[in-house]
Amino acid sequence: GIQVEQSPPDLILQEGANSTLRCNFSDSVNNLQWFHQNPWGQLINLFYIPSGTKQNGRLSATTVATERYSLLYISSSQTTDSGVYFCAVPDRGSTLGRLYFGRGTQLTVWP
């Protein structure tokens, strides 16, 4: 299967700071998803982003498929942003079916 690596593994921020999370993957993919797992364990679909840039409020994501990486930007972080951020990709040549997840970035935002 495809290898997905995320960095950094842990990130601690003061409220109001900005951050960038990175996701590298080992093969060509047709799409990529970013998820947020909140402290209660719920996995929330943030972005479906095969390529280019998308924005949703204070969050934005950029995928450069040709270079096999994606970035998640969090601006003006809030305590509610705390949790684990995962990226996930499907099998090579697929847009559907199984997703391969990275190990996640654990984000802690202090007030």
| 31 lines the binding site for other proteins (CB under 8 A) | yes
| Site size toward other proteins, by CB under 8 A | 20
For residue 9, cis peptide bond before it (omega within 30 degrees of 0) = no
Binding other proteins (rule: CB under 8 A), the pick from 19, 86, 107, 109 is: 86
Phi-psi region of 97 (alpha: psi -120 to 50; beta: other; left: phi over 0): left
| 80 lines the binding site for other proteins (CB under 8 A) | no
Give the residue from 86, 106, 98 showing the smallest Cα distance to 4. 86
Binding other proteins (rule: CB under 8 A), the pick from 19, 65, 104, 107 is: 104
Binding other proteins (rule: CB under 8 A), the pick from 3, 20, 28, 42 is: 42
